[in-house]
Amino acid sequence: MSTTISARDVKELRDKTGAGMMDCKHALEAAGGHLEEAVKALRAKGLADAAKRAGRAANEGLIHSYIHQGGRVGGLVEVNCETDFVARTDVFKTFVHDLALHVVAMRPLFVSADEIPGEYVEAERSVFAEQARDVPEHARDRAVEGKLRKHLATVTLLDQEFVRDQNEKQPRTIEELRGEVAAALGENVEIRRFAVFELGA
């Protein structure tokens, strides 16, 4: 027996994911009307589609700032896309604004894991090794690497959970959000760089 998908269900899924109306309808049908399962399917599809576009040149885009606390702290981000037309869309502008807000709130140190210097990784590994001295030897390395992996995810922008999703059951990472935006726009979207400025720091 087929599940009836209402327009309200489609709208709710579209609001959550930014995916197209027909994509939302098909995802809900495939998931038997279960919203969270449909969200997972659309996110996976968005990331897969974005991966196909990842090699395409992205030389347009926006530089955007977000200022907080009465001018005491601010963030600056550069996000690239393939065409000036997409850079002017509300979807792209909203993503860039949300990203600037996120870097001010979450203070990442690196855009991606590829940017993390080996010296930083080794220094953090040493700290966690010191903390794990009382862990049984057979489990020590695994404990250290687990803590290191979790720490690196907190300082890497693409691996951080999106600040606006913190109260959601399934918060998106910035990489997942970037993939959704790229899928919605049909272009490669790259987060090129960011900076956070704090008065007196």
Sketch out the chain's domains with CATH numbers. 7-53 (1.10.8.10), 60-112+156-198 (3.30.479.20), 117-154 (no CATH)
The per-residue pLDDT for 1 is: 43
List all residues 6 or more positions away from 120 whose beta carbon is below 8 Å from its beta carbon. none
Question: pLDDT at position 108, please?
Answer: 97
71: left (phi over 0), alpha (psi -120 to 50) or beta: left
**Residue ranges in the chain whose pLDDT is less than 50:** 1
Neighbours of 35 (CB within 10 A): 14
* Prediction pTM value: 0.70
Burial, 180: exposed, middle or buried (Cβ in 10 Å; 0-12, 13-18, 19+)?
A: buried
pLDDT value for 186: 86
Token readout for 143 is 């404990």
